[in-house]
A = this chain, B = another copy of it.
């Protein structure tokens, strides 16, 4: 039979087989009977699926040859027993799938024997001996891992259900699965009911175990929570409360990609067993939107934007995103752009969803996935600020600027209101530090968050945003920070060449109003090169403040227009608290009444930062790494604009990307910049007008307001009268 014929058969089968699984039928969680039939029919004809299937088989075949080890739990994350129990559920999950597809008994036997071993030790297991978590598990030091184990193990159990004798099922359910699910739910209602990714994992684990065993009580717990009124706990509530209407999860994309897994896996199980719930369409298809939003929160290299606690290497290539993309594509196969992501991921999950995605990709149905300029609202009603992303689409410079004007982002949030990060072609230009953690690396406190995560990464000074009086937003108090969010003033990315966003934060510092406006101009009629304009307005009620504005940059120092005093023989800290203690002073620059220009090179391009900072102010050239006795921090460089005792100020800074250096030919060129000086020519509570003088001495003016009530604006300045409509205008 030819490949095409075989693939066509797929669709016939879809029509002839009863598409909806029956409750009580097995498998019916990750795989359905229909899936298994289709996969068997198509094996050998769908390249990407075959490759993924072979990879799974290769890995599992190695693992199931080893003796089964179910050790008594002992180690923290990064240690052996932690690793072993994680490996065990992965192997059971894979072996369960392979049993269904290949029909080879060795896989079912392996899962059975391992489950029986767990059933033997589980009843007597005490709480895990490591006491570092607020919610200890039994197999693992924290209940989060405990729940993940059951999510995958319930799938494995579902896969071999029909292989087991009733006696075996009895043993496994009564001695392992039910008490395990009870531990995660009725024994720990606080975690189970918690509106948090830990809660979602527990809910999914318990619900999936319910479907796998036909235990309706467990399914009920998953939807209703423990001892709570309707609408206060359970899966629907987790969907309602943890996502914004666009599917944004407030902790940020690093945690969203992780949190997505239990949502998507459980939703698939719900859909297989109770299709009448239309769970993937629930709340205007928010689970599907969540996957697409998470993908929009990646840079050109597919890595997640690392705001809040985030490991910078994490990307859309991770297993949880392969899982989410395949399943969501299969739920709404009109989203052909998801197939482009499948292609990049270059693997699919071994399930009906993975098969569907692989077949459609093979039939050239993929459409390009465009990373767009967009504002992603935060809060379950979408009213708690947003993440704003501006992106140029340009062959040479694919610049992305992200501003965070969202809510705090729960416990993993950073105190970084109105902070920005900038990328070009997927490379960091103005980076966000991310988290201080080496996940699962034993040498670094077992892979947990390190002390510097709190003392540095979460602090405001670690981010590209304003710090008032050397103190973090909300005094670094998470409970207070969690009550407030920043606010979008305007977001306009309709015209690709001139995109703007503006946001306000009025709670981070008492009596201080902060408004930041970012314009991304990529129009050779205005500037020869792409220019980011960054206008940061600080208005204080009464007292004067010390103001710091850091720009961390990746790349090599090239040029500073002002004299500075370098610390060449003895290096001191910038401060002693709020993150300042982690910064070495490399040099101190003393401003005079001139424009400040700083040039650095990154990835063979040049970036010129031009600032209006003038008068008797200081610029600190800093480097991370102080107060770091265990060498947990990366060494990164930054500039900090420091104003001492000032009530109101407007920073008008630009960053121009220009020039090139070719290391193979050693040629450098195109070094003349467009921006000569930047100045604020007018500001008050309502308005702000900045002037950028170009190297040809022509001027560009940017007028900004935060007054949404008026449509027509007139401002008289010493440099003339400015008239415009709307929230901003660029005069050029």
Give me the interface of A with B, judged by CB distance under 8 Å.
78, 83, 86, 311, 313-315, 317-319, 438-444, 447, 556-559, 566, 568-573, 581, 584, 586-587, 599, 601, 621, 623, 625-631, 634-635, 661, 663-669, 671
Contact residues in B for A557 (Cβ distance below 8 Å): 630-631
Contacts of A626 in B (CB 8 A): 568-569, 571
| Among B438, B571, B661, contact of A440 (Cβ-Cβ < 8 Å) | B661
A438-B556, A621-B631 provided; 4 other pairs, C-beta below 8 A? A439-B666, A441-B558, A441-B601, A586-B631
Chain B residue with minimal CB distance to A667? B440
Alpha-carbon distance A664/B439, docked complex (angstroms): 11
Copies in the complex: 2
**Looking across the interface, which residue of chain B has its beta carbon closest to that of A604?**
B313
User: Using Cβ atoms and an 8 Å threshold, which residues of chain B touch A627?
Assistant: 568-569
Measured between beta carbons, the chain B residues less than 8 angstroms from A661 are 440-441
**In the assembled complex, which residues on chain B have CB atoms less than 8 Å from the CB atom of A586?**
625, 631
The CA-CA distance from A599 to B661 in the complex, in Å, is 36
Q: In the assembled complex, which residues on chain B have CB atoms less than 8 Å from the CB atom of A623? A: 625, 635
Q: Are A318 and B584 in contact (CB under 8 A)?
A: no
What B residues does A573 contact at CB under 8 A?
Answer: 569-570
A668 contact set on B, CB distance < 8 A: 78, 83, 440-442, 447
Whether B666 lies near A440 (C-beta < 8 A) is yes
Which of B311, B568, B587 has a CB less than 8 Å from the CB of A663? B311
A634 contacts across to B, CB distance below 8 A:
556
A311-B569 in contact given A442-B671, A443-B558, A557-B631 (Cβ < 8 Å):
no
Taking a contact as CB atoms under 8 Å apart, the answer to whether B601 and A314 are in contact is no
For A442, the closest partner residue in chain B by CB is B671
Q: Is A663 in contact with B313, judged by CB distance below 8 angstroms?
A: yes
A489 to B598, CA, bound (A): 52
Expressed in whole angstroms, the Cα–Cα distance for A515 and B578 within the complex equals 51
List of B residues within 8 angstroms of A317 by Cβ: 664
Determine how close the nearest CB of chain B comes to the CB of A152; give it in whole angstroms: 13
On whether the beta carbons of B664 and A315 are closer than 8 Å, the reply is: yes
Interface pairs A-B: 6 shortest CB-CB: A313-B663, A557-B631, A571-B571, A443-B558, A566-B629, A443-B559
> Can you list 9 residue pairs at the A/B interface with Cβ under 8 Å?
A83-B668, A311-B663, A315-B663, A318-B665, A438-B601, A443-B558, A566-B631, A586-B631, A587-B629
CA distance A667 to B626 in the complex (A): 29
Taking the nearest CB of chain B, how far is it from the CB of A295, in angstroms?
Answer: 15
* Chain B residues in 8 Å Cβ range of A556: 438, 631, 634
A194 vs chain B, min Cβ distance (A): 23
Q: How far apart are the CA atoms of A439 and B83 in the complex, in Å?
A: 48
Q: In the complex the two chains form, is B83's CB within 8 Å of A628's CB?
A: no
Given A78-B668, A447-B668: A314 and B663 interface contact (C-beta under 8 Å): yes
- Given A447-B668, A664-B318, A668-B440, CB of A568 within 8 Å of CB of B628: yes
Alpha-carbon separation in the docked complex, A485 to B47 (Å): 58
CA distance A586 to B669 in the complex (A): 38
Candidate in A559, A571, A626 with the most chain B CB atoms within 10 angstroms: A571
When distances are taken between beta carbons in the complex, the residues of chain B under 8 Å from A440 are 661, 666-668
What's the minimum C-beta distance from A79 to chain B, rounded to whole angstroms? 10
Cα A317 to Cα B627 in complex, Å, equals 43
Q: CB-CB < 8 A to A566: which residues of B? A: 628-629, 631
Chain B residues in 8 Å Cβ range of A629: 566, 568, 587
Q: Are B570 and A572 in contact (CB under 8 A)?
A: yes
Residue of B nearest to A632 (CB): B557
Chain B residues, CB < 8 A from A319: 664-665
